[in-house]
Structure 1
Amino acid sequence: MDSQTHTGATAPQKLYTAAAVQELDRLLISQQQIPGLTLMKRAGRAAFDRLRAHWPEVNRIQVFCGGGNNGGDGYVIAGLAAQRKLPVVVYTAVSPEKLTGDALEAYRFAEREGATMVSDLAELSTADGNAVLVDALLGTGFSGELRAPVDTAVAHINASAAPVLAVDIPSGLNADSGAAGEAVQADLTVTFIGRKTGLYLGRGPALTGEVIFDDLSASDTVYHKVPAHLHRFDGGSLEQLPVRAADSYKNQFGHVMVVGGDHGYGGAALMASEAAARAGAGLVSLASRPEHVAAALTRCPEVMARPVVSGQELEPLLELPSVIAVGPGLGQSPWSEQLLARAGRTEAALVLDADALNILAGGRVLAGVQRDDWVLTPHIGEAARLLNTSKAEVVTDPVAAARAIQQKFSGVVILKGAGTLIAHADGVDLINSGNPGMASGGMGDLLTGVIAALIAQGMTLPAAARLAVWLHGEAGNRAAAEGGQRGLLATDLLSHIRRLVD
């Protein structure tokens, strides 16, 4: 979660790579004439103030300091705590004799103020009561695996029952990709100068806790000189559906057709259909295996369910919809391939999910096709198949993977995850929305239906993708608030989706 709140429309947040943040830092020093030590003091002050505000009952602090500027920030925090007679112990992962520059000056400040320094984790007392641990071991330059003695310090922090504040980024988290092996599990992360992409991608949302951003009084002119890596949207920065006129009628809000539901998978196609209806599509139809029609009519009679046993039977139905969603429960049988092949030749906008993506990746259907009017919605595994690579490669650089899929197939690509990426012709956007309770069957089917419904109502594909991802996650949050995360079902979101699009 990010601490920024919204009142009315706001601009999306800019996210930066580690290299871009280093460039921002350099420009602050060289062009805004802010000495590096001043920036370090500001960062330490900002983190210490947030610590006191977040844990007002804190009665002692343990700070874990590395050897770079991140460690220097930690030493400033320790010195400020000592100034206020707050008991503070600093674990020095790097010998003070090896410190240089601003980090050394910060160490001397903490030492002068009376902070206790230890070089052995065994010298740290048990962090119980109202203690807070501060992680200032590694900064944005980290990549790869943790090495001694930092790996032991990270394990020590994570084994403690005390809350943890991470300075700039949790140690062990990749600042660009959000990839992490062993890493600090923080309750609060205070990050500086530029929001790092990795805080919001991959493992980032699970490791950072609440994220608070402080620009350290950097001027806007500096940010204009360094391009953002991503733009992060939330409910306050998204394009919304227009208010409906009093004399509206159903044909003004599009016709979504869901194509899917092979033997044994009818529920997925029906959930996508019902989600499209609840998200405001004027008309919704379903093309599925004959055995699923009766269940569809019983569950949601507003959905016009039609039985299809071949691509040839689907053909005349494709003249009606303005948007076709293919994939929920589709399977990978000859029937499945026929339906995707026929749908893929229409002029209606397309949303492809699940097995439609797996068939596409196989190269037998729609081989070499690029369309500007389709949305592809892969998760990590499907993304790897679309790129003919490994899941590990996608996880290592999900932004590059999303861009590569978009360049290969055109249109809009939604790479799903805790931080969902939306790649389109003009760049890549990020949405953080939802909760772990949504890791259950059928959630992706709902998202497919919502995307299709928003396109049917006239939104551009990128705007529909952004809003649908946020609506889907927010509906999950509201449903979880009512009944908890564990046991959350996809259909629990439907009533909340309806309220959110109103």
Structure 2
Amino acid sequence: MLHKNTTPSLTQKLYRAAQVKHLELEAAAKVGITKFELMQRAGKAVFERCISLMPNTDTYLILVGVGNNAGDGYITALNAVNAGKNVILCAIEPEREVTGDVARAQKAWLDNGGKVEAFDAAMLERCDLVIDALLGIGIVGLIRNEFADVIDSINSSGIPVVSIDLPSGLDADTGESLGRCIQADITITFIGIKLGLTTGAGKQSCGKLIFEDLGIGKAFSDIARSDANALDIAHFKGLAPRPVHSHKGSYGRLLCIGGNAGMAGAIRLSAEAALRSGTGLVKVYAHEGSKIQISAGRPELMVTSSGLKAALEWATCIVIGPGLGQDQWSKDTFNEVLAYCQENPKPMVIDADALNVMASTASFVTIDDCVITPHSGEAARLLSVSVEEVENNRFVFARQCAERYHATCVLKGAGTIIDDEQDSWVCRHGNPGMATAGMGDVLTGIIGSLMAQGVATNLACQYGVSLHAKAGDLVAEEKGQRGLLASDLFDTVRYLINE
């Protein structure tokens, strides 16, 4: 049995920007903290993180707008100067009047002898670190040209960037760039982690994401409903030890269907990943022309190209899609599997070409206990939208996939999302080196393996995605991201699943 920590921590919970904006002051009041005190805590936290993560930076260029983010920037500047750092503080509109607590923070900076200058790109040559306090979570629509020009200068400078709360120009809910977006090395976010910082382009723009609750995180989580949870391999306690008297039949019978002629590799990767993840018996149903290639390198796999119905009856869980193709053999195989499973429900993972066949089948009937694992291109085909639309709002389209097919959707990519029509989870692990052929096939095999071993569907998806991505991170840390092969993950998956 797989166990997961049941109470999400503050760093697991994800929120929409509106929740943070509307409830942070209520949460602060519950613990007796004013808005300005929150701003002081934020500025102090940013400076302390800069010191700990980039101790050898002496000259800070701090860029501010006119909103609350600017207030955090002024307080950060004050902390830096008082600690002996050189600070250049620039406002996009230095003559524009600010109000409220932002004005109070600005006055504290000016009273301390600080100046507010207009930005000039030449200033970038004089600094070691840029602190981005330009735009916050309240931005709506495309950013103005004067901000876009500054963002372009920062992104092309090569100087390390720390963004306060979120990279300027990023939609905090979707992770979409609002015309231009800072590409930060570090983002320090406050109160609650925003959805858009965790997936797709938002994950890329944030760099290393650091959470600071400013002492009100618990009070905030008590009054705000979390929209999703972040997943970390550390959240799982792992599979229970195996009984001494168990046998291979005790750990599931997984049938992997795919491997059309000339496409043996994909289904072989899925099947071997399932073996490495602990399935007792794995059988592959493939095209006659792929049998030898599949079985030659992994004799522990059973491989057949006939008797599909008998294989379906044998299985406790089914994976279909890797290397399936989209020709007549593919469609006939898919339709036979679908018809069988509608009459004889079994857990199923649908991936790769099976998703493309699904997308072209208007009469597709949903199946109980089903997982679909699209990347953004496959999700776009399933929903008849563009890839850009999917990538610009990954949480929304993961939910739409789940609802349309009444399945648990695993939307792959940077910050893989799992959605079961009611709840969403996003994976913290993973790296760009995993953007290579066969990685999705390995993930499918891992999820199918866990389901075959009796792990509940959404938990199998959460753990499987975390396991796969963490294995990719460990291999990349040891040997580098470039040249990372899908099959390189097998030994590490085996190690992690036995921890």
2:321 counterpart of 1:322: no
Deviation at 1:147, TM superposition (A): 1.7
SS across alignment from 2:88: strand
CA distance in 2, matches of 1:484, 1:10: 35
**2:171 equivalent among 165, 169, 174:** 174
**2:415 equivalent among 406, 419, 423:** 419
Provide Cα deviations, 1:312-338, integer angstroms capped at 9, x if missing partner. x41222110111100000011121111
AA in 2 matched with 1:499: Y
CA distance in 2, matches of 1:476, 1:84: 40
Deviation at 1:84, TM superposition (A): 2.8
CA distance in 2, matches of 1:125, 1:433: 33
In the other structure, the counterpart of 2:153 is 156
In the other structure, the counterpart of 1:298 is 296
2:392 counterpart of 1:396: yes
Output aligned runs, 1:217-228, within 5 Å.
217-218=215-216, 220-228=218-226
Deviation at 1:58, TM superposition (A): 2.2
SS across alignment from 2:349: strand
SS across alignment from 1:263: coil
In the other structure, the counterpart of 1:486 is 482
CA distance in 2, matches of 1:432, 1:83: 36
Whether contact under 8 Å (1:64, 1:153) holds in the other structure is no
SS across alignment from 1:236: helix
Say which is worse superposed, 480-489 or 445-454, in terms of deviation.
480-489
AA in 1 matched with 2:53: H
CA distance in 2, matches of 1:368, 1:267: 27
**1:262 equivalent among 260, 284, 290:** 260
Provide Cα deviations, 1:475-498, integer angstroms capped at 9, x if missing partner. 112222232111111111111111
Whether contact under 8 Å (2:418, 2:426) holds in the other structure is yes
Please provide the CA RMSD for this pair: 1.9
Q: Structure 1 stretches (4+) deviating beyond 4 angstroms?
A: 29-33
In the other structure, the counterpart of 1:467 is 463
**1:477 equivalent among 473, 478, 481:** 473
Deviation at 1:248, TM superposition (A): 1.5
**1:282 equivalent among 252, 275, 280:** 280
Deviation at 1:425, TM superposition (A): 4.2
What are the ranges of 5 or more consecutive residues in structure 2 without an aligned counterpart?
none
AA in 1 matched with 2:245: D
What are the ranges of 5 or more consecutive residues in structure 1 without an aligned counterpart?
1-7
Output aligned runs, 1:308-347, within 5 Å.
308=306, 313-344=307-338, 345-346=340-341, 347=345
In the other structure, the counterpart of 1:456 is 452
Deviation at 1:416, TM superposition (A): 0.7
Q: 1:160 to 1:246 in 2, by over 3 A?
A: same
Whether contact under 8 Å (2:349, 2:372) holds in the other structure is yes
How many equivalent pairs are there? 488
CA distance in 2, matches of 1:173, 1:97: 23
Whether contact under 8 Å (2:28, 2:216) holds in the other structure is no
**1:500 equivalent among 477, 496, 499:** 496
Q: 1:485 to 1:85 in 2, by over 3 A?
A: closer
Identity of counterpart residues, as a percentage? 37
AA in 1 matched with 2:269: M
Output aligned runs, 1:26-175, within 5 Å.
26-29=25-28, 31-122=30-121, 124=123, 126-128=125-127, 131-175=128-172
Whether contact under 8 Å (1:10, 1:237) holds in the other structure is no
Q: 1:96 to 1:417 in 2, by over 3 A?
A: same
Say which is worse superposed, 213-222 or 488-497, in terms of deviation.
213-222
CA distance in 2, matches of 1:274, 1:31: 53
Whether contact under 8 Å (2:191, 2:220) holds in the other structure is no
CA distance in 2, matches of 1:120, 1:75: 15
In the other structure, the counterpart of 2:15 is 16
Deviation at 1:125, TM superposition (A): 5.5
Provide Cα deviations, 1:430-481, integer angstroms capped at 9, x if missing partner. 1122111111111111111111000011100000001111111111122222
Whether contact under 8 Å (1:231, 1:430) holds in the other structure is yes
**2:427 equivalent among 426, 431, 439:** 431
**1:377 equivalent among 373, 376, 386:** 373
AA in 2 matched with 1:323: C
CA distance in 1, matches of 2:346, 2:272: 20
Provide Cα deviations, 1:85-113, integer angstroms capped at 9, x if missing partner. 32111111123432111111111111111
AA in 1 matched with 2:478: E
SS across alignment from 1:11: coil
